[in-house]
Chains A and B, each alone.
Chain A
Amino acid sequence: MGTEISEDELVSQAVSGDEAAFIELASRYQPRVWSTASRFTKSRPETEDLVQDLFLKIWKGLPSFKQKSPFEHWLMKVTIRGCYDHLRKHRKRRERELLTEEVVATHSESGSTSRSLQRREAQEIVFMLLERLDAKDRTIVTLLELEEKSVREIAELTGWSESNVKVRAHRARKKMRTIFEELGLER
């Protein structure tokens, strides 16, 4: 015992409905999926739930996986599309939360005017900017700026055309500039 089963073997077993093989495969890819999913969520519990939903989606979609392309590529496609669906589904709730956040933001701003932007703060500001974008723009900006994917890769992962990705990325940048100014974040 103790010999590690190859990924191809695990994938084949999982595709044919072997739950144990799928769980082993999921454990191997969990850090990768987690790292992407956490860019689309607000808290750790939300990320945990999203990752779980994503792996359920992956399990349900396995029969449609053609074993010609690499498994990771297919898995990331399902992950990105799942994250986009998650953003769309929770849009209403996010909008409601933003209204309350707005008040908190103005309060904290008046408390400390010139504070250095540390990593945590940078993260929070990026999150604030992204939260104000619509689901499609946010998905594109996250992949482009945080996951450092090319326009072509984004088009492949999301299924949107390259020109659509480019136009949306450009518009999203413009929107972020406006939000940045509106929130008085420039230094």
Chain B
Amino acid sequence: MNSEPEADIDQQIDNLFAQTRNTAPHGAAQSYGFETRLKQALQAERGTLERFGTVCWQLGWLGVIAFFFMVAGSILVIDASSLNNMLTSCSNFFGTHLFPF
């Protein structure tokens, strides 16, 4: 239960709310170029999305190219190392079996 002074303050607050309820604090929603502003904002939003899309697209392609070079490079390295291994084994084989002396 509220004490008397509390109830009194509550009543005053309620009155204030009642007086404020039916009035929009900053007036009615008059035309202030709402549609034009919204159109511009949507356009800007689309522009940002498009720019973001372009950047993603470019980064994606760069990634694909980088991946391609990485794969190609590693194949070359593997090939080179296996060629090297092959040459070493051959020379070892010839060295030990064909030329025992």
Which residues on A are within 8 Å of B, measured CB to CB? Answer: 19, 22-23, 26-27, 30-31, 34-35, 38-39, 41, 43-44, 47-48, 51-52, 55-56, 59-60, 117, 119, 122-123, 125-127, 129, 145-146, 148, 173, 176-177, 180-181, 185-187
CB <8 Å contact, B26 and A145: no
User: Contact at B19–A52, with CB atoms within 8 Å?
Assistant: no
**Chain A interface secondary structure, helix, strand, loop or mixed?**
helix
Q: Which residue of B lies closest to A126 (CB)?
A: B20
Q: Looking at chain B's contact residues, is the secondary structure mostly helix, strand, loop, or mixed?
A: helix
State the CA gap A127–B23 with chains docked (Å).
13
Whether the pair A186, B42 counts as a contact (CB closer than 8 A) is no
- B residues within 8 A CB of A26? 34-35, 38
**Known contacts A119-B23, A126-B20, A145-B17; A27/B9 CB under 8 A:** no
**Contact between chains at B38 and A122 (CB < 8 Å):** no
Residues of the B chain whose Cβ atoms lie less than 8 Å from the Cβ of A117: 15-16, 19
Q: Which residues of B contact A (CB under 8 A)?
A: 6, 8-10, 12-13, 15-17, 19-21, 23-29, 32, 34-35, 37-39, 41-42, 45
Chain A residues contacting B29 (CB-CB under 8 Å) are 30-31, 34-35, 51
Q: Nearest Cβ distance between residue A149 and chain B, in whole angstroms?
A: 12
